[in-house]
């Protein structure tokens, strides 16, 4: 993940060089107009705080999340409407009853990056509109206290970009999120994929990808999911943090043989049940 991140940053640096008037060396490749790459924004999650920029520009953006751990953390963007502030959101989260992880209607889940394992990175690319946002972590492992209530909330101002947005990344498969299931356009296969994640549901949904550890089963994962005690029986490979209906996000994955599960932990307000308990689990195997 680190290597990939550095490669992306390298492309960005090349782009920045072009903007300051430095010309790329003449070559066959230089004759073809380069497709602009979305800018990369880096955040670090720690127990229990975020480090990252206070202001970014709008447009297609790649968010890289580094987890300094030791806990699992994700990064969810929450757009604040109706003049509400990060302080209002803090209060709203503190007032939620245990088990509910979704903020009130004026706080719009706007995607982000699902958890990397401690010491690693995950990333996602999405169109970010101008506005006032909070960056939050609503993971509640291991004691059912939301990390946002332990300090993992930070304001992020998105100002209108002065340059045209980079185009969306090229995807090779689509993963539709519906109420309450995952609907991939093609089966997941080994290798590198850019997955276009689309929320076609009426509720917010997320895509969390876990690769089961050797000898571990879906039963082990379900048991862990009931109590969150002990280490996760696998590896969190990230994915797309909760997105509003209609939202689109692009997730890069490198898949190797093994057993996997796609999960959505968003809570259904009608039943107070996490979507995974309503069927939003997709186990799959790559041979």
Rule CB under 5 A: is residue 277 a binding residue for Cu ion? no
Q: Smallest gap, in angstroms, from Cβ of residue 259 to Cu ion?
A: 21
How many positions of this chain bind Cu ion (CB under 5 A)?
A: 5
Assess contact for 275 and 205: CB atoms under 8 A: yes
Q: CA-based diameter of the chain, in Å? A: 62
Rg, Å, the chain Cα set: 19
Q: Which is nearer to Cu ion, 59 or 204 (CB)?
A: 204
Binding residues for Cu ion restricted to 155-214, rule: CB under 5 A: 205
The residue from 1, 241, 264, 281 that contacts Cu ion (CB under 5 A) is 264
Rule CB under 5 A: is residue 280 a binding residue for Cu ion? yes
Handedness of CA 219, 211, 209, 43 (dihedral sign): positive
Assess contact for 263 and 208: CB atoms under 8 A: yes
Rule CB under 5 A: is residue 243 a binding residue for Cu ion? no
Q: Smallest gap, in angstroms, from Cβ of residue 59 to Cu ion?
A: 27
Tokens of 235: 């590896």
Rule CB under 5 A: is residue 101 a binding residue for Cu ion? no
Rule CB under 5 A: is residue 266 a binding residue for Cu ion? yes
Q: Residue 147 gets which letter from DSSP?
A: G
Q: Smallest gap, in angstroms, from Cβ of residue 166 to Cu ion?
A: 28
Tokens of 159: 């100002």
- The C-alpha angle 89, 94, 97, rounded to 5 degrees, equals 120
The interface region with Cu ion, picked from 48-56, 78-86, 151-159, 274-282 by CB under 5 A, is 274-282
User: Length of the chain in residues, anyone?
Assistant: 287
**Which residues of the chain form contacts with Cu ion (CB under 5 A)?**
205, 264, 266, 275, 280
């Amino acid at each position: 993940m680190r290597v990939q991140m550095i490669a992306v940053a390298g492309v960005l640096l090349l782009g920045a060089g072009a903007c300051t008037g430095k010309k790329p060396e003449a070559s066959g490749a230089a004759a073809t107009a380069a497709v602009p790459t979305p800018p990369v924004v880096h955040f670090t999650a720690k127990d229990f705080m975020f480090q990252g920029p206070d202001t970014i520009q709008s447009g297609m953006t790649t968010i890289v999340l580094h987890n300094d751990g030791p806990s699992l953390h994700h990064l969810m963007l929450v757009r604040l409407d109706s003049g509400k502030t990060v302080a209002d959101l803090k209060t709203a989260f503190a007032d939620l009853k245990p088990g509910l992880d979704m903020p009130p209607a004026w706080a719009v889940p706007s995607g982000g990056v699902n958890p990397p394992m401690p010491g690693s990175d995950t990333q996602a690319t999405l169109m970010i509109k101008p506005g006032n946002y909070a960056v939050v972590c609503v993971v509640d492992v291991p004691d059912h206290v939301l990390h946002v209530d332990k300090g993992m909330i930070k304001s992020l101002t998105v100002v209108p970009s002065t340059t045209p947005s980079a185009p969306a990344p090229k995807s090779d498969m689509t993963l539709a999120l519906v109420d309450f299931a995952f609907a991939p356009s093609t089966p997941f296969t080994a290798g590198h994929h850019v997955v276009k994640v689309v929320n076609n549901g009426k509720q917010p949904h997320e895509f969390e990808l876990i690769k089961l550890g050797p000898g571990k089963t879906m039963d082990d994962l379900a048991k862990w999911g009931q109590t969150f005690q002990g280490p996760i029986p696998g590896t969190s490979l990230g994915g797309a943090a909760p997105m509003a209906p209609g939202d689109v996000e692009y997730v890069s994955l490198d898949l190797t043989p093994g057993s996997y599960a796609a999960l959505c932990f968003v809570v259904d307000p009608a039943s107070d049940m996490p979507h995974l308990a309503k069927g939003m689990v997709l186990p799959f195997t790559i041979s």
